[in-house]
Amino acid sequence: MSYVIGIDGGTESLRADIFDLSGRCVASVKTPYETHFPSPGHAEQNPDEWWKALGQSVSSAVAKAGIAGGEIDAIGIDTTSCSVVALDDLNRPLRPAIIWMDVRAVREAEFILATGDPALVVNGGGSGPISAEWMLPKALWLKRHQPDLFDRANTICEYQDYLNLRLTGRRVASLDNASIRWHYSTARGGRPATLLKTTGLDALNDKWPNEVLAPGQIVGTLTKEAGRHTGLPESVNVVQGGADAFIGMIGLGVARCGQMAFITGSSHLCLSVTDRRVHAPGIWGTYSDAVYPGLEIAEGGQTSTGSILAWLIRLSHNALDLKELDVKAEKIAPGSDGLLVLDHFQGNRTPYTDALSRGAIVGLSLSHGAAHIVRAIMEGVGFGTRAILDAMQNAGIAIKELVACGGCIRSDLWLQIHADTAGLPISVPRFTDAPPLGSAILAAVGAGRFGSINEGIEAMVSIARQVEPRPEAQRRYAEIYPQYLALYPALKPFRPVAQHKTEHT
């Protein structure tokens, strides 16, 4: 038999999953590594620990599966995006990697946005944001604060690129990462040349990998060192992947116009497929060819979703049982007996892109219990998702189906509420750990086992169930939704003055 390996380099660990060509996972091994927080807003990891974790996870997964290394056709990789690495001319890290959650480059992000460069149109139609998490602000921070190191760096790249380099010896970038976070655009001719010049980052033209490969293209075969490190034959192909959530679209089978990958957890991420190139307020993207050739990806998201329920449980000192409350909340009618929640507990990502917005629970009375609050939180998050869908559809991006994974799918109630508030069906795949499966599908495509990503999806992804919106609940939520939309502008005047001062310094 033939197998492929999907490698998922996450925030806390690197995972290797081995799949057969029907999408069945035959072994999975996860190896943790540390994140260091040397200063407020800083988050760093040691790239050598990524490499060590890859070797341990792959070799252990092969042993666990009980298969020979020669039965592995290819490896596909996804990682966190914007985990930035600076390497010397021998490809050794010059400093710890500045990982995605690091926000030290706030001033650099503001400086880049203020240039008004045409390449910035990709987010909010040019209104932004530019996140301190992204590649250019971090590279500019290095140039400003560690200029000697920046000058010595032969390569500035991502976690993804570092693993590909260690595995194959080839210095390549992922079209996915470059499109979504480097302001690279196939539609505008590639690199953001004027933006690099305006910001004084011309040196990145030499420090970034010169070659950019799309997901599914072969990076190369294993070097001798990589073969020894992983226990695999040198003939094994390494196939290009990209950012974990975007490669997760493939693992969810979201590849057709009108589909949206609905990735839920502490926060929600919404990634839609369209054939329309759109740059508009309220949406991030669209990103050309970032995942699928000839198609665009639109991005939206909610900063706090499952984390709001976690907050409620923490407030009770874990006295509340969320599973028990979920059962009770299901017996409450849509509308939570007059409770309404604004889900901006940690700001709004889209469609408002307002980091200073805050959450609210409105309509409380002494007759309400904890189950009412739980249901109202679920409904508020559902309305927040609906606002993202509306922004996309108002920009001309049709959405007909959501495909979900993550924490939300563990609650039948919350999944149903999302279907009812969105007025759309939600599908749940059989295998819900979407990023490693997406990487495995790309590996199989690169190895020639399938003629296209769509063909790989057809063979390796299957839907376990589908949740349809209930007409009566859908009508009720349609009545409440305008009240939810009214909360954001109504609550703007009530932001504490001290908060403005703190968050703008």
Does residue 409 sit within a domain?
A: yes
Does residue 323 sit within a domain?
A: yes
- Same-domain pairing of 357 and 334: yes
pLDDT 10s digits, 113-167: 999 999 999 988 888 888 889 999 999 999 999 999 999 999 999 999 999 999 9
Does residue 335 sit within a domain?
A: yes
3-state secondary structure of 91: coil
Pick the range with the lowest mean pLDDT from 153-157, 185-189, 291-295. 185-189
Does residue 289 sit within a domain?
A: yes
- Same-domain pairing of 284 and 407: yes
Whether residue 480 contacts residue 380, with contact meaning beta carbons closer than 8 Å, is answered with no
Task: Report the C-alpha gap between 275 and 278 in whole angstroms.
Answer: 9
Per-residue pLDDT, averaged over 261-280, amounts to 94
- Same-domain pairing of 316 and 384: yes
pLDDT 10s digits, 337-376: 999 999 999 889 899 988 888 999 999 999 999 999 999 9
Residue 504: is its pLDDT beyond 50? no
Q: Which domain holds residue 285?
A: 254-303+395-467
Residue 177: is its pLDDT beyond 70? yes
The number of beta carbons lying within 10 Å of the beta carbon of residue 482 is 8
For residue 296, what are the contacts with CB-CB under 8 A and spacing of at least 6? Answer: 273, 274, 275, 276, 277, 278, 285, 286, 287, 288
- Length of the chain as a residue count: 505
- Same-domain pairing of 382 and 477: yes
Task: Report the C-alpha gap between 160 and 281 in whole angstroms.
Answer: 30
Q: What percent of the chain has pLDDT over 70?
A: 98
Task: Report the C-alpha gap between 206 and 192 in whole angstroms.
Answer: 14
pLDDT 10s digits, 64-96: 999 998 999 999 999 999 999 999 999 999 999
- Same-domain pairing of 297 and 434: yes
The number of beta carbons lying within 10 Å of the beta carbon of residue 53 is 21
Domain containing 265 — which CATH number? 3.30.420.40
The number of beta carbons lying within 10 Å of the beta carbon of residue 1 is 7
Output the pLDDT for position 113. 94
- Same-domain pairing of 481 and 492: yes
- Same-domain pairing of 322 and 384: yes
- Same-domain pairing of 322 and 457: no
- Same-domain pairing of 287 and 327: no
Output the pLDDT for position 353. 86
Better pLDDT: 357 or 273 = 273
Does residue 44 sit within a domain?
A: no
Does residue 442 sit within a domain?
A: yes
- Same-domain pairing of 280 and 316: no
Residue 497: is its pLDDT beyond 70? no
**How many CA atoms lie within 13 Å of 246's alpha carbon, on the beta-carbon side?**
33
Query: Is the preceding omega at residue 351 within 30 degrees of 0, hence cis?
Result: yes
pLDDT 10s digits, 195-248: 999 999 999 999 999 999 999 999 999 999 999 999 999 999 999 999 999 999
- Same-domain pairing of 361 and 259: no
Residue 3: is its pLDDT beyond 90? yes
- Record the tokens describing residue 485, joined without a space: 């939309």
Does residue 440 sit within a domain?
A: yes
Residue 500: is its pLDDT beyond 60? no
Better pLDDT: 177 or 504 = 177
- Record the tokens describing residue 189, joined without a space: 């001719």
- What is the pTM for the complete model shown? 0.93
Output the pLDDT for position 496. 66
pLDDT 10s digits, 452-489: 999 999 999 999 999 999 999 999 999 999 999 999 99
Residue 25: is its pLDDT beyond 80? yes
- Record the tokens describing residue 77, joined without a space: 């990789």
Nearest alpha-carbon partner for 15 in 336, 355, 248, 298: 248
Does residue 225 sit within a domain?
A: no
Output the pLDDT for position 499. 46
Per-residue pLDDT, averaged over 406-435, amounts to 96
Per-residue pLDDT, averaged over 269-280, amounts to 95
Query: Is the preceding omega at residue 334 within 30 degrees of 0, hence cis?
Result: no
Give the number of domains in the chain. Answer: 2
- Same-domain pairing of 341 and 366: yes
